[in-house]
Amino acid sequence: MIRHRSNKSGPVPQGCPLEFSLKLLAGAWTPQIVWFLKTEPRRFGDLKRDLGHVSAKVLTTRLREMEEKGIITREVKPTSPPTVEYALTDVGRKIGPALQSIVEVGEEIQKHLLREKIEVKSASKKTAVAV
């Protein structure tokens, strides 16, 4: 019979801030948009070029959702023709360091997997030669 082990992590925090934070970043392009806005405000066209293969419709939808969530602000500049700039709010700026940490962990994992892949290939070549 398998013995039940208790969870040593403790209960999930009330209102689960982790889940809430992840929902803020959910959706295609959201983390990338935060990434490109972390240093300076960007215009719509700039963001579209930064992101590459995103349609104007999808980008518009995502930016509106992020504005509703309080992650970004949208400012219409009084120019001719009018331009719109998007910038991170104080809340949005707090996401930047979390994304940077995720990038660093991702780099570590990629290096680890690459080393393992190389080691596995080396081991399989040695085994093939020995046979």
111: tokens are: 């290096």
Whether the pLDDT of residue 74 is over 50: the answer is yes
Q: Judge whether 77 and 43 are in contact, CB under 8 Å.
A: no
Contact assessment for residue 85 and residue 44, using Cβ atoms and an 8 Å cutoff = no
pLDDT tens-digit readout, 83-100: 999 999 999 999 999 999
17-130 carries CATH number 1.10.10.10: yes
Residue 131, pLDDT score:
46
- Residue 17 per-residue DSSP state: H
- Which region holds residue 29: left if phi is over 0, alpha if psi is between -120 and 50, else beta? left
Q: Is the pTM of this model over 0.85?
A: no
Domains in the chain: boundaries: 17-130
Give the dihedral sign, CA 65/71/77/83: negative
CA angle (33 as vertex; 30, 36 as ends), nearest 5: 150
CA atoms within 13 A on the CB side of 95: 28
pLDDT at 65: 94
